[in-house]
């Protein structure tokens, strides 16, 4: 009987000592899983949708080239622009960009590197072809056209 009486007297406080631990665990999970956006995109980037897509798992081995009209048309002018890293570049800079990106990864993994072309829907194929021509010159033959999965 005494047991029943005890309960009625007052609620035992829930032990929250483990709460910080739980929260910290979640925190570490998100800290590890997070990838901060390293580059600010200076071009319009509405990528097309497609169904036959392949995921690029290894982020280190991906070199991203953005293509599209500049968001700030007053500074950069109209027409398709190529963005490498953080700035708008010209077609001549593509080779150097590939060389610099290759330097960042160990030599034995360089052959697995892929160039990801993030092209805006509205950009023209000519610009993309120019880039592809440059990529062939430096023997960076693996290319992925970035797309969004088609909604079904």
Partner 1 sequence: MARRDSPEINAGSMADIAFLLLIFFLVTTTMDVDAGISRKLPEKQPENIDKPIVKERNVFEVIINRNDDLLIENEYYEVKDVKELAIAFIDNGGGKGNPMTAFNETEGAECSWCGGAKNPKSSDHPNKAVISLKTDRSTSYGMYIEVQNEIGAAYTFLRNRLAMDDYGVSYTDMVEQEGRGTSDPATMLKLTERIKIIKAKYPEIIAEISSN
- Contact between 76 and partner 1 by CB under 8 A: the answer reads no
Rounded to a whole number of angstroms, the minimum distance from the CB of residue 59 to partner 1 is 8
What is the C-alpha to C-alpha distance for residues 71 and 122, in angstroms, rounded to an integer? 13
Q: Which of 144, 137, 60 is nearest to 103 (CA)?
A: 60
- Contact between 151 and partner 1 by CB under 8 A: the answer reads no
Among 7, 55, 92, 103, binds partner 1 (CB under 8 A): 55
What is the C-alpha to C-alpha distance for residues 45 and 83, in angstroms, rounded to an integer? 11
Instruction: State the burial class of residue 123 (Cβ atoms within 10 Å of its Cβ: 0-12, 13-18, 19+).
Output: buried
- Contact between 98 and partner 1 by CB under 8 A: the answer reads no
- Contact between 62 and partner 1 by CB under 8 A: the answer reads yes
What is the C-alpha to C-alpha distance for residues 112 and 61, in angstroms, rounded to an integer? 7
**Strand 148-149 to strand 49-50: parallel, antiparallel, or no bridges (unpaired)?**
parallel
Q: Which stretch binds partner 1 (CB under 8 A): 7-15, 47-55, 86-94, 102-110?
A: 47-55
Pick between residue 85 and residue 114 the one whose CB is nearest to partner 1.
114
Give yes or no for a contact between 115 and 86, defined as CB atoms under 8 angstroms apart.
Answer: no
Give yes or no for a contact between 84 and 124, defined as CB atoms under 8 angstroms apart.
Answer: no
Q: Which stretch binds partner 1 (CB under 8 A): 6-14, 88-96, 102-110, 121-129?
A: 121-129
Among 20, 73, 87, 91, binds partner 1 (CB under 8 A): 20
Contacts to partner 1 by CB under 8 A? 16-17, 19-20, 23-24, 26-27, 30-31, 33-37, 48, 50-57, 59, 62, 64, 67, 114, 116-117, 119-129, 132, 135-137, 139, 141-147, 149
């Amino acid at each position: 009987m005494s047991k029943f009486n005890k309960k009625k007297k007052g609620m035992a406080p829930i032990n929250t000592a483990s709460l910080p631990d739980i929260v910290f665990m979640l925190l570490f999970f998100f800290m590890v899983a997070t990838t901060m956006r390293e580059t600010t995109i200076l071009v319009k980037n509405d990528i097309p949708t497609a169904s036959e897509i392949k995921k690029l798992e290894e982020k280190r081995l991906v070199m991203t080239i953005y293509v599209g009209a500049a968001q700030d048309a007053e500074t950069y002018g109209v027409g398709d622009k190529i963005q490498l890293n953080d700035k708008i570049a010209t077609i001549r800079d593509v080779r150097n960009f590939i060389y610099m990106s290759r330097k960042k990864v160990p030599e034995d993994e360089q052959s697995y590197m892929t160039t990801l072309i993030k092209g805006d829907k509205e950009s023209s194929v000519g610009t993309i072809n120019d880039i592809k021509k440059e990529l062939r010159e430096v023997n960076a033959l693996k290319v992925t056209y970035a797309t969004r999965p088609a909604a079904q």
